[in-house]
Chain A
Amino acid sequence: MAGFSSFAPWDEPGKKPLIEIKSVSKFFGAFEAIHDLSVNIYEREFFAILGPSGCGKTTLMRMLAGFETPTSGQILLDGQNIGPVPPAKRPVNMMFQSYALFPHLTVEKNIAFGLKREGVAAGEISDRITDIMKLVQLTDFGRRKPHQLSGGQRQRVALARALVKRPRLLLLDEPLGALDKKLRQQTQFELMNIQETLGTTFVIVTHDQEEAMTVSSRIAVMNNGEIAQVAPPTDLYEQPSSRFVADFIGEVNIIEGRCAPAARDGISLAWNEGSDDLRIASDATSQIGTTAWLALRPEKVGITKTRPEGTDNAVQGEVIDIAYLGNITTYHVELPTGAIIKAQESNLQRVANRGITWEDTVWVHWSADAGVLLTA
């Protein structure tokens, strides 16, 4: 989904959001878990809340579910303030991290639980259960108890139980955390398909950035109770707004320096006396004279033994570590300043004489538009 479709309601002027979080703060005693947070979530979005543990992402989700109330600020659903509405009365359902399946009930009864509470007629309940069990591929498991299911099957029951209520908003709290890696990746795509089939708005909380990048239309990166950046995955990766975001999403090289006017277009960054200034394609001329940081993804940095011709930036250093991961190799190169630059190469051939080894003196190089100039 990420950047490959034209689905972008957040860019449409005048589009009404499904959820409006308006300057919400949440205190637990003296501890401020959420600080003056505002964000809009649109219908049919697959919205990810990503952040390190303790950043407030779970608190934000629990406020959407109704298990916590904001200390100040408002949460609107379809323009209605849902602050005073208890969890049972919200058109919002949640899939719990522990799945929270009722151990004394069969799969069918677990899924029927919410519909019975709602007072749906028996015939309709069984129709809707049949449909949802087909959707999550659990058709033959209706009479089993939760302890007779595998982790992946339990996850599907939890999903079905929340979805069968046809909520306006489905919350997923670390939904795939308990699954192993292969199953997790497969389930991510299933989640996306289900979300697209039903058109329900999903909000997922996760600390796994790959998961967030894979499934979501937009990601909110949280830190210390605030949103550091909200953007589609591609923008988040290529246009991070701060060093925190750049560092949290994927790997990054950060080079600190002072902005100076460039000889040609863009900006130069004076980073080390005796070295050439770095050329950066940026129109942030207002930053000239201030301290800034160049964020550079390792896969956009090349590595050669001789000084490359015709490249915008080339810096000499010494190879101190090589991490061979099969598909890629990461070289850790120490610069004269003592900083480490990571350069990644894809291993396109099975057998290749790469010719670079430990303690070699090498050149790392990148183009002017490979990195992003950050001011925070």
Chain B
Amino acid sequence: MTRRFSWFNTTSLTLGMAFLYLPILLLIIYSFNASKLVTVWGGWSTKWYSSLLENEAFLEAAWVTIRVAFISATVATFLGTLAAYALVRAGKFRGRTLFTGMVYAPLVMPEVITGLSLLLLFISFGMDRGITTIILAHITFGMCFASVVVSSRLVSFDSSLEEAACDLGCTPVQAFFSVTLPVIAPAIAAAWLLAFTLSLDDLVIASFTSGPGATTLPMKIYSSVRLGVTPEINALSTIMIAVVSLGVILASLAGKRAEISRSET
């Protein structure tokens, strides 16, 4: 069935999309600008991308960001999966609603408050701020997202699958690894990609929890922009947009796979 869009739908869709994506599109186009002046078009060029590769400060920030994102996403997914499993499978225990709420609360907590409270925590523990503290901070919020994604899959997971595995000769631990884990794997992958992407994006919490020598890419971009927008920043931002979009697309594909395997069970 083909359905024609009415003129109203077409207009509102166009305006909406333009509002969302025109700025990003402009940024991408200007990253290929040959002129050094950001607002003056000087023809196509990829020279800012190559000059980016020679900018040590940016490269170092990128390396910090990737390490932070990778480690924090991995730990957050692990902890988030455990939390989701406990909350979904432990049945009804006293304070379950409270615990569930507490796992989800950081999702809606203003970032400034999360950042500030973590900063106070690190100071009171006498921890030197640096890459470790950023990783710890990112684990805390990444874990919330991961547990939301994984628990939504676990809720619809037929627990008789695990019983069937036990009935066929597995111990409960073997049943988890040979049945539960493969079935919820797409959701876990989606959770990891989400945590990874969120960590790449984060500016506020990283600013609060970082110290000298640990600057993430969003922090670097933000501080450079205050001195003026350079075409290099545009190029860098374009690369980040590409990485983040890829992460989001992969996460939603993994989510789709989880959806399909859910309808099978």
Contact = CB atoms under 8 A, between A and B. Distances in A.
Interface stretch (A2-10, A14-22, A93-101): A93-101
Contacts of A52: none
B11 interface: no
A266 interface: no
A88 B167 contact: yes
Q: Which of B161, B183, B263 has most A Cβ within 10 Å? A: B161
Nearest to B159: A100
Given A114-B168, A118-B169, A67 B265 contact: no
B166 A87 contact: yes
A298 interface: no
A117 B164 contact: no
Interface string B236-265: 000000000000000000000000110111
Interface string A74-104: 0000000000001110001110111010111
A92 B168 CA distance: 9
Nearest to A118: B169
A68 to B, nearest CB: 11
Contact of B169 (A94, A102, A117, A145): A117
Contacts of B265: 98, 103
A49 interface: no
Contacts of A114: 168-169
Given A145-B264, A147-B264, A102 B161 contact: yes
A146 interface: yes
Interface string A92-136: 111011101011100000000110011000000000000000000
A60 interface: no
B165 interface: yes
A255 interface: no
B160 interface: yes
A249 to B, nearest CB: 29
Given A102-B161, A102-B179, A86 B263 contact: no
B179 A94 contact: no
A166 interface: no
Nearest to B263: A147
A219 B255 CA distance: 47
Nearest to A117: B169
Nearest to A148: B264
A93 B167 contact: yes
Contacts of A100: 158, 160-161, 163-164
A332 interface: no
Interface in B132-162: 158, 160-161
B-side binding surface: helix, strand, loop or mixed?
A: helix
Interface residues of A, number: 26
B256 to A, nearest CB: 14
A145 to B, nearest CB: 7
Contacts of A117: 168-170, 174
A146 B166 contact: no
A88 B261 contact: no
Interface string A132-159: 0000000000000111000000000000
Contacts of B160: 96-98, 100
A96 B168 contact: no
A92 B161 CA distance: 17
A250 B171 CA distance: 43
A168 interface: no
B182 interface: yes
Contacts of A165: 168-169
Shortest beta-carbon contacts, A-B, top 4: A117-B169, A114-B168, A147-B264, A100-B164
21 contacts: A86-B171, A87-B163, A87-B166, A88-B171, A92-B167, A93-B167, A94-B163, A96-B160, A96-B163, A100-B158, A100-B160, A102-B183, A104-B182, A114-B169, A117-B168, A117-B170, A117-B174, A147-B263, A147-B264, A161-B164, A162-B168
Interface of B: 158, 160-161, 163-171, 174, 178-179, 182-183, 260-261, 263-265
Given A100-B163, A102-B161, A165-B168, 9 more contacts: A67-B166, A87-B167, A88-B166, A88-B167, A88-B170, A93-B167, A100-B158, A104-B183, A114-B168
